[in-house]
Amino acid sequence: MVSVIGLSMSSASAAGALAIGKCGAYGQAFDYAKPEAAVAAARKQCKGECSTVTMRRSCVALSIDMKNPCGAYGQAVAPRISSALNAATKFCYQYGGKECVIRAWACDARG
C-alpha cells in the first residue's frame, strides 16, 4: 500500500532517503553526497524489514494511521514540504487510514 510521487533529479544535488518499516518504524537521512549513502543511513535507523524512498532537491513525508499504526500509511516525495505532507496524508486515508498523522519528514538542503 505505497504510493510515491516521483521527481526528475540532478546528480549534483544533495541526496536523502526515508526508510519505512512495519508499525510506524522509520529511518531518515538527508544531505548525503550519494543516494546509496542516504539509503544505507536511513535503513540503519529503521527497525525490521524496511523499504526506502529516495529524494534529491526535494522533501519526503510519511503518514501513518494512529488508530492502527500497523495498518495504512502513505508516503510522498515532492518539491516542497507542504506538498509532501499533504500527499502522504492523502495516501494514508486513501489506503484505509482513519486518523492519519505525519510520522516523519525530511528535506534535503535544496528541498
How does pLDDT run across 42-88, given as a tens digit for each residue?
A: 999 999 999 999 998 899 999 999 999 999 999 999 999 999 999 99
| Predicted model pTM | 0.81
For residue 2, the SS3 value is coil
Say which residue the cell 546528480 belongs to: 11
Amino acid identity, residue 42?
Answer: A
- Residue 7 falls within a domain, yes or no? no
Task: Domain of residue 72: give its range.
Answer: 15-107
Task: Please count the structural domains in the chain.
Answer: 1
User: CA 31, CA 49: separation in Å to the nearest integer?
Assistant: 24
DSSP state at residue 24: G
The residue type of 3 is S
